[in-house]
Chain A
């Protein structure tokens, strides 16, 4: 898996105190890893700093709450990583 995934997985392991080997690209941050909304803020802060981006959490939350996008699109790690990569690419474009 990508270095982005490794960085994100290490952040989650450190921030949420989850064993690193339990974190896979298929893990759902909430359903599988039990990360709550407050812990996810800590993770978002670390991700924002590590990649120099701003995860659009408010937009994602609104889209999920309104049923426009399934939560898996943002909270399954391989999808989250893809969105981080897209934000990084957009920043340097």
Chain B
């Protein structure tokens, strides 16, 4: 994970096209400028970045399912719960599953665990739009780096 660059997913562990589910793994860095403010001498991953992690896992799942035909943009977060603190060095197991595929939008449920213990969960909504021209190749490159292209 590189928190300050919003690179939240280290590796896609499993992509299940039929079950419409993706599992990923990320390790919280030992140091990050984020921890200088959140919080001084008491580093914790902010809830908004855990939400972003769930959103990115969901986004890569949706991208894989449509073979990069559309780009999912986060438009809603429902029932987000943060159940325990996450500090530097924590290994996160991230799971995202499609709840509903609508016309022009999708809904996922995502959760994060560490050592089998629930960290957080939420229901996320995405609007799916045509890819901005400059973004598609960058997203494919990043998906390749984290193993999504290979897994899908």
A and B: bona fide binding partners: yes
Residues of A within 8 A of B (CB): 38, 41-42, 44-45, 48-49, 54-59, 61
| CB proximity to A under 8 Å, residues B89-116 | 100-105, 107
B127 at interface, CB cutoff 8 A: yes
Residues of B within 8 A of A (CB): 75-76, 100-105, 107, 125, 127
CB B121 to nearest CB in A, in angstroms, measures 18
Report, nearest first, the 7 A-B pairs whose CB atoms are least far apart: A58-B104, A57-B103, A58-B103, A57-B104, A41-B105, A56-B103, A48-B102
Q: Check A38–B103 contact: CB distance below 8 A.
A: no
Main secondary structure of the interface of A (DSSP, over half): helix
| A-B contacts, 17 listed (Cβ < 8 Å) | A38-B127, A41-B102, A41-B105, A42-B76, A42-B125, A44-B102, A45-B100, A45-B102, A45-B105, A45-B107, A48-B100, A49-B100, A54-B101, A54-B103, A57-B102, A57-B104, A59-B103
Q: Which of B76, B103, B127 contacts A55 (CB 8 A)?
A: B103
Q: Check B102–A55 contact: CB distance below 8 A.
A: yes
Main secondary structure of the interface of B (DSSP, over half): strand
CB A90 to nearest CB in B, in angstroms, measures 15
Report the Cα distance A42→B101, complex, angstroms.
Answer: 13
Given the contacts A41-B75, A41-B127, A57 and B105 also touching, CB distance less than 8 Å: yes
Report the Cα distance A47→B105, complex, angstroms.
Answer: 13
CB neighbours of A48 from chain B (8 A)? 100, 102
CB neighbours of A38 from chain B (8 A)? 75-76, 127
CB neighbours of A44 from chain B (8 A)? 102-103, 105
**Nearest chain-A residue to B78 (Cβ)?**
A42
**Nearest chain-B residue to A62 (Cβ)?**
B104
Report the Cα distance A57→B106, complex, angstroms.
Answer: 12
CB B32 to nearest CB in A, in angstroms, measures 32
**Nearest chain-A residue to B104 (Cβ)?**
A58
Q: Check A41–B100 contact: CB distance below 8 A.
A: no
